[in-house]
């Protein structure tokens, strides 16, 4: 089955460059293993002049008009790598309506408009694939779609944002402050000048929405994710977490609780003996609990031109092979998923950091029927850090109320894991 598949790429930034290089380098290997030849027919850019050198290097045909791609009937697959919502959404919709398969790495778009766009793909019997939108180089979406079809996922957790994981790792290992590490990450081009999307947890929440769609066949709305970022994490928190045997990580988690889904993105304490604790710097990982397989984890780079491009290529190959074998287009998920019923409150143990404590804290906690698992009080008895036993939300709220009367609560974080 020797076939040539023509691709158009929207955008010529770092990932698009990675894609061009990867497809060029792997051309022979792909042909040998699949019988397919891929060629990039057109690349949409804002200005031909700015991208002239890159175009010459890889003999790319540039265009500034999306319509030229839309109307080129030889182009079977459109790869969207411009990011953002507009005009990416409109272009993807039009490409699908013109019976072109679409591959995208655009998590914001897929999280918010994935169902709508998938519906257009279904109507037109073409595929919309987006492996690279979650956890860059990790093939998590295709794994959810293949290895877990006959299984039942009960929990999924991810370290999904490389920027915050880099920051927390550096705060731990290089012992530098949040502000310092943010500057380092920004000057290395690793964090945006406005870091909101990363540090406040929005990026991880978008990715969690996509994971939930594939893991639970449910539609999770952004409003239903309890989101807390890492701005308030200090070196003192990291110091005590380590002393107690934990790492602080920004964890995205979704868990089935009696037919409902609990969904949250928040900094949590993870035991140093759990595989997620060793996911460092810009690496990502997704941890899954399921009925048949039990515990499993996929680990890999969360971003970067080359790993992201590798995931895009995997999508392209899958679409192309299906194009040849089948008249029915594949989708990553269906467009008509039922909404999640949301479980708001979880039992958890908590890490607490106090200052200005006016009482004998161990005696006070005993009175509140709290049995701290770990406990450290500073010499002069006004500051303390401890980890509670498992508390219901009611118990936690009652504890906080009591503590506020006798001390200043500087930090409270969930401890993840049973």
- Exposure b/e, 62-87, CB count within 10 A at least 16 = b: bbeebeebbebeebbbbbbbbbeeee
SS3 for 11?
coil
291 is in an annotated binding site: no
Considering beta carbons, is residue 1 or 188 the nearer one to its own copies? 1
**Was 89 annotated as part of a binding site?**
no
Smallest distance, its own copies to C-beta of residue 189, A: 18
Is 207 one of the catalytic residues?
A: yes
Q: How many CA atoms lie within 13 A of 358 on its CB side?
A: 7
Q: Is 99 left (phi over 0), alpha (psi -120 to 50) or beta?
A: left
As measured in angstroms, the least distance from the Cβ of 405 to its own copies is 41
Instruction: Please give the structure tokens belonging to residue 363.
Output: 């005696």
> What is the binding site for its own copies (CB under 8 A)?
1, 18, 22-23, 25-26, 29-30, 33-34, 137-139, 142-143, 146-147, 149-152, 273-275, 277-280, 283, 291-301, 304, 306-307, 309-311, 313-314, 317-318, 322, 325-326, 328
**3 state DSSP class of 317:** helix
- Closest to its own copies by CB, 145 vs 390, is 145
Cα separation, 83 vs 81, in Å, equals 6
Please tell me whether the peptide bond between 314 and the residue prior to it is cis, using omega within 30 degrees of 0: no
Residue 58 CB, shortest distance to its own copies, in Å, is 16
Nearest residue (CB) to its own copies, 142 versus 368: 142
- Of 149 and 188, nearer to its own copies (C-beta) is 149
Nearest CA to 81 among 11, 6, 8, 20?
11
Smallest gap from residue 173 Cβ to its own copies (A): 10
Decide: helix, strand or coil at residue 39. Answer: strand
Given 42, 100, 207, 318, which residue is catalytic? 207
Known binding positions: 107, 192
Which residue positions form the known binding site for L-homoserine? Answer: 192
Q: Which residues are catalytic?
A: 207
């Amino acid at each position: 089955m020797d076939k040539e598949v023509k691709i158009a790429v929207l955008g010529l930034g770092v990932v698009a460059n990675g894609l061009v290089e990867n497809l060029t380098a792997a051309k022979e290997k792909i042909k040998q293993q699949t019988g397919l030849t891929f060629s990039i027919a057109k690349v949409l850019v804002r200005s031909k002049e700015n991208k002239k050198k890159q175009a010459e290097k890889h003999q790319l045909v540039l265009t500034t008009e999306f319509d030229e791609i839309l109307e080129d009937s030889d182009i079977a697959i459109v790869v969207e790598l411009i990011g953002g919502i507009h005009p990416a959404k409109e272009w993807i919709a039009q490409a699908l309506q013109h019976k072109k398969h679409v591959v995208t790495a655009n998590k914001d778009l897929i999280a918010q408009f994935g169902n709508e766009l998938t519906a257009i793909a279904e109507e037109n019997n073409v595929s919309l694939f987006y492996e690279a939108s979650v956890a860059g180089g990790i093939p998590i979406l295709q794994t959810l779609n293949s290895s877990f079809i006959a299984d039942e996922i009960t929990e999924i957790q991810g370290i999904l944002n490389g920027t915050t994981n880099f920051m927390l790792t550096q705060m731990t290992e290089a012992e530098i402050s949040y502000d310092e590490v943010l500057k380092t990450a920004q000057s290395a081009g690793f964090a945006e000048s406005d870091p909101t999307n990363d540090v406040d947890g929005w990026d991880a929440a978008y990715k969690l929405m996509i994971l939930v769609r594939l893991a639970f066949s449910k539609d999770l709305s952004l409003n239903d994710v309890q989101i807390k970022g890492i701005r308030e994490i200090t070196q003192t928190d990291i110091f005590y977490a380590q002393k107690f045997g934990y790492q602080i990580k920004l964890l995205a988690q979704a868990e089935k609780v009696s037919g409902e889904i609990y969904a949250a993105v928040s900094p949590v304490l993870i035991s140093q003996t759990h595989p997620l604790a060793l996911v460092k710097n810009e690496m990502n990982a997704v941890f899954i609990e399921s009925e048949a397989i039990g515990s499993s984890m996929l680990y890999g780079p969360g971003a970067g031109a080359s790993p992201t491009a590798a995931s895009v290529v995997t999508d392209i190959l899958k679409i192309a092979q299906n194009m040849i074998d089948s008249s029915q287009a594949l989708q990553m998920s269906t467009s008509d998923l039922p909404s999640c019923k949301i479980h708001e409150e979880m039992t958890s143990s908590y890490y607490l950091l106090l200052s200005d404590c006016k009482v004998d804290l161990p005696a006070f906690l005993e009175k509140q029927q709290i049995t701290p698992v770990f406990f450290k009080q500073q010499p002069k008895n006004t500051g303390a850090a401890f980890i509670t036993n498992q508390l219901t939300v009611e118990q936690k709220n009652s504890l906080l109320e009591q503590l506020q009367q006798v001390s200043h609560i500087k930090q409270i974080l969930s401890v993840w894991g049973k």
